[in-house]
Amino acid sequence: MSTPQGHHFLQIPGPSPVPERVLQAMHKQIIDHRGPEFARLGRDVLAGCQAIFQTGNPVIIYPSSGTGAWEAAIVNTLSPGDKVLMVETGHFATLWQKMAARFGLEVDFIRGDWRHGVDPAAIEAKLAEDATRAIKAVMVVHNETSTGVLSRIADIRAAMDRADHPALLLVDTISSLGSADYRHDEWGVDVTVSCSQKGLMLPPGLGFNAISDKALEASRHNTMPRSYWDWQEMLKPNANGFFPSTPATSLLYGLRESIAMLLEEGLERVFTRHRRLAAATRAAVNAWGLEILCLEPAEYSPVLTAVIMPAGHDADAFRKIVLERYNMSLGSGLSRVAGKVFRIGHLGECNELTLLGALTGVELGLAAAGVPHRPGGVAAAMANLAGRNADPAVP
């Protein structure tokens, strides 16, 4: 295979491309993580994270993957044998459910079709039936990365309130934070889980827990064993900008810069940009005559679009052709939808021209792979971005 030329289009739904500003910010010599310069860095990123999560409460940063942040949320709030309510919205919701079971939690797992988000009415019904208040937490994924479905967290919180149930609300924002509107405090979330390599535009390696007062109180009384993940051990040194163990200093430099970029653009503008790019992507998919995996328009993800391959065609074979011929990586289908869908990421440092280049690669790839489709998807996306109908008669 010949050496690829030109820019590589990384259009998977994370890790996302790292902006040049962030790369340069990380290109620094390591400093004393017990010294005053680091304390300033630590205070900057901890305060900046509060702005991104939209919370006045603590945000804890771990040197970890998002999986580690999942674990931290569990071990700090729940005890072995506790009952939790979870919903099968896709591959990652299923993985979090499996983790919960391994910690000895009793999981009531509402089954799903991988094409819809969490149904708030189903949550309300389950909680209303729980007369003994045995359910200690509702655990849901905000943006299901495997399916391109966004669940309505504010509606879930409202459903919990209508049921007048004291369960904690734990939310995975691993692929949505910094790309989709998310409000930890306003939406009454108790633990928000996230990580660095998606909307925060960093390399993998940082995990986050944003915590409410109620969650912090639960952590003082639950009995799940923990050491490295213990919030209490993190919060003590965090008060002065430090960490109890060796921090990922280079990533924290990058985090400070990525937070600055998001706040300079303005969070609402960031979210609007992502919605605009997602709508253009869907316009292209519809013009090609292909099917979007997400069935509910109110749940379309601004982060990625999952596309169903026509019957008799393999999504991974198509992705291989796109990579080898056009130097572009598309997201694969995971577990239940492996080989059946491909995913177009449009998150992080992505603008109109980047997206149109990616969609051009998809359209070229569809033709090269012999996938049945109608031409004109890129033109439809351009028309959508220009704010007019994809009508060839329009000048």
- Residue list, annotated binding site for substrate: 343
Q: Are 175 and 50 within 8 A, CB to CB? A: no
Beta bridge partners of 11: 330
Cα-Cα-Cα-Cα torsion 265, 205, 245, 253, nearest 10 degrees, comes to -40
Q: Which residues participate in the annotated binding site?
A: 343
List the structure tokens of 190: 């108790």
Question: What's phi and psi for 260, nearest 5 deg?
Answer: -60, -40
What are the b/e assignments for 35-52, b being 16+ CB within 10 Å?
A: eeebbebbebbbebbbeb
DSSP H or E segment with residue 319 = helix 315-326
Query: Which 8-state DSSP code applies to residue 111?
Result: -
Given a contact cutoff of 8 angstroms between Cβ atoms, the answer to whether 340 and 315 are in contact is: yes
Give the residue carrying structure tokens 């491309």: 17
Task: Name the CA dihedral angle for 358, 360, 362, 365, rounded to a multiple of 10 degrees.
Answer: -130
Tokens 């390599």, residue located: 197
Angle at 297 between CA 292 and CA 302, to 5 degrees: 75
What length does the chain have? 395
